[in-house]
Every structure is written in structure tokens, then in C-alpha cells.
Amino acid sequence: MRLARIGEVDVPDGGVVAVDDEGRPNGLLEEQAQQLVRSLVHPRSVAEMATNLGLASDRYLSEGITSCQEAGVGGILGTAEPVEVAAYQQARRANRLRVRVTMMASVDALHGCAHHADDNEPFSLDLGMHTGFGDDWLRYGATKIFADGSLMGCTAAMFEDFRWSARQQRLLPDARSAAARTDPRRAPVGVAGRHPRDRRPRRLLRCSTRTRLCPPAAPPSGPPAPHRTCRDDPCCQTSHRIARLGVIPVPQARFVSEIGDGMLRAIGPDRVGDCYRQRSFLDAGITLPGSSDRPVVNGAPLLGIHDLVNQRTASGAAFNPSEALTIEQAIHAYTVGSATASFDEQRKGSITAGKLADLVVLDHDLTAIERDGIGEARVLATMVGGSFEYDAANLA
């Protein structure tokens, strides 16, 4: 804190330096305030980042993960690494990146660029790279926008105040948010927005309306990424609008057990019915993927599937039981649903002739055990591209 001169320097917009009762910084840096310490830990070397990606791959394979999406390459809350993609490439060349990765470029990585009048692309990644650039193992996906804060931190933009706080943090000012989303006819990238509740979904859905009417041209390697959102807005029948527009909501089921008690305290029991919907999305005909928001919570898919089905907090309290899924629906979310969210349903998501040979072997049939035991199932082996990249028996 002293090295970063916390308490002496200006706090970035969208950030808070928490203080104690005497007004002194207490060590908590919220949201964009994390930028104040970035220079003390960044940039990291390509070699270090590549090593870390290899360790992450090992962990993911042991949890049955064959593909993942990295939501914010190029900058999240002040953690931008100028050559981050080079680390992914190095890890792949060294055969240490052994899960398939779709990189979401942070909106901070988009910038204005000189362009021919016929191209009409004022916002771009460097060298004009589009959504879909790359291969089966490493490619660009959507652009990630951080729109507001969190439920647990009581910093999300709300129609109604939190139970004990009226604070709201807009991590991306409205003007910049509009510019970043821009007219999709002029930006060949999909959009993924992070906004827990409940004003921001309405704003990003306006963008999605334009996107649906005027989709960007498909890049040579495939179609544009779908536009994703994370919350449902009960005030404007958003579920039906989401379904009509083809937007894909991405709720994180694991939040229910790990931080659900805190969310209940923050919003109160009267509003929990609108929180982290799942079954409502399926009933409306909306694609539902599995997601973790790692490292906020444990990212193991079996734990996420457990929470999709059980809907109970760490204290054992029922969170939103009317939104609980069947085990078949939960498995579908983490397989076909997730593949669809990354525009890969033609190549991934099911064990089907012609698709990539990515699969997981478990020690139990999840459809035949008690639902309380889903999270205790073990991954025996993980296959990626027809090769067993993880085998628990060989590690024993």
C-alpha cells in the first residue's frame, strides 16, 4: 500500500479504496482501484505466463475441462499484459497449453485505427484481427466489456438499492460503453458483457438489438461470436427479449453455494427470485451454458453442475429452488450449451461422428446417483483431440 501511495494518489473511475472507521485505507481495493498496484506486479515475463498457463491446463484437465474461454485478454481491472497472447502461443508451441482456449479481448484492447473508407472499421484489434482468428486450440472470440460492479461488493448498478448500501459503480462510463459496443456493422467482433444486475442488461440488450439486425460479416474462419449477457432484468420481460434476439445469458451456478449467502444478505429474499436464473432461460427457449467466472469461485464443472441441480448455499439455505435444473439439463449446459455459447456447437459439445474427440470419463453416472453427491464425483480421464491428456490411474 505504501509503495503504491494508496491514499495519496487519485482513485480511477469505477474504483474504491476502502477505509476504516478513522478514514485510513484498510487494504481493500475494489474494482478499478486495483489499477493502483498494477505496476508493482506487472508486466510479467512471457516465460512466467506460459508456465502458469501450463499449470492451469494441468488443473483444468484434472477437472474434466477440455475447452475454456479467457474473458479479458489484454486487460481486466488494471491487469493488462502487453504481450499476453505471445504467452499463450509459447505455451501452445511447448505443448503446455493442452486445453482449447477462446480468448476474449478486453474492450481496452480495442482502439481506433486508420482504415480505408470502403472498410469502415474504426475500432479494431491490432492488425485488424477479427473474432474467429486462430485455430481449434487458440483463437479470438468476443470482446469483453466490464459494465458495472458486483452483488457481493454491493457495487452493481441496481434499479433498487442494496439492503445496506446505495453504492453503484459503473466500471465503463456510458459514453465509452456505447463507443466500445459501436455499430456492429463497423466492428467485426462479438460482445460479452459482465453485469450482475440489473440496469446494465437493458443497456447491452439495446446493443444486441442492433447486432441482431445488422450482424458483422463472418470472418474467414467462421461466424461472429454470439453476444452474451449475464443477468435477467425482471422489469422489462427481458427473458423473452433475450430469446427473440438470440442473446446468450451466462449465469455462474457455483456462485450459489460459495457466495450465495452473501448475495442473499445483499439483495434480500424478496429479490432472489430474479437472481441467477437458469430454468427460466431454458423455458423461454434460451441457450444456457455452464460457466464459473473463475477465479471468483472454484471452476470445476462437476461443482457447477452440482449447484445447477441443487440450488443451495454454503449454509444449506435454499437459494432459488424454482430455477433448479434436472441433471440432464445441467450436463447439457456444460457441454452443448457451452459449445453453442462459443459458436462451436458444430465441432464440440457432444460425442458425435465428425466432431472433435474431446470427452471426459467419470467414476459415476451422474444421472444415476443422488443429486447431493454430484459434486463428489471424480474425473478418471480427460481426452482432448483423441488423446488422453489426463489419466488418474497413471497418476496414482
Residue 348's pLDDT is: 95
The better pLDDT of the pair 72, 177 is held by 72
Question: What SS3 state is found at 326?
Answer: coil
Read off the pLDDT of residues 59-117 as tens digits, 9 standing for 90 and up: 999 999 999 999 888 876 556 788 899 999 999 999 999 999 999 888 878 777 777 88
The residue type of 80 is: A
Cell numbers standing for residue 6: 494508496
Cross-strand bridge partners of residue 123:
112
The better pLDDT of the pair 263, 205 is held by 263
The answer to whether the pTM exceeds 0.85 is: no
Cross-strand bridge partners of residue 193:
145
Residue 359 has pLDDT above 80, yes or no: yes
Cis amide linkage into residue 295, ω under 30° from 0: yes
Neighbours of 215 (CB within 10 A): 16
Phi first, then psi, for residue 382 (nearest 5°) are -130, 125
CB 248 within 8 A of CB 286: yes
Q: What is the DSSP string of 262-317?
A: HHHHHH-TTTGGGSS-SHHHHHTT--------TTSS---HHHHHHHHHH-B-TTS-
Confidence of residue 265 (pLDDT cuts 50, 70, 90): confident
- Mean pLDDT confidence for 386-392: 95
- Total residues belonging to the chain: 396
Confidence of residue 160 (pLDDT cuts 50, 70, 90): confident
Closest CA to 132 of 199, 216, 204: 216
Q: Is domain 42-395 classified as CATH 3.20.20.80? A: no
Residue 235's pLDDT is: 40
Residue 16 has pLDDT above 90, yes or no: no
Return d(Cα 352, Cα 136) in angstroms, integer.
17
Residue 134 to residues 23, 111, 137, 139, 189: CA-CA distances in angstroms?
50, 20, 8, 4, 14
Per domain, the residue ranges of the chain are 1-20+28-41, 42-395
Cell numbers standing for residue 17: 479504496
Residue 121's pLDDT is: 67
DSSP state of 243: H
Confidence of residue 214 (pLDDT cuts 50, 70, 90): very low
First to last CA, the chain: 44
The better pLDDT of the pair 265, 197 is held by 265
Confidence of residue 304 (pLDDT cuts 50, 70, 90): very high
Q: If 0-12 CB within 10 Å is exposed, 13-18 middle and 19+ buried, where does residue 164 land?
A: exposed
Residue 314 has pLDDT above 80, yes or no: yes
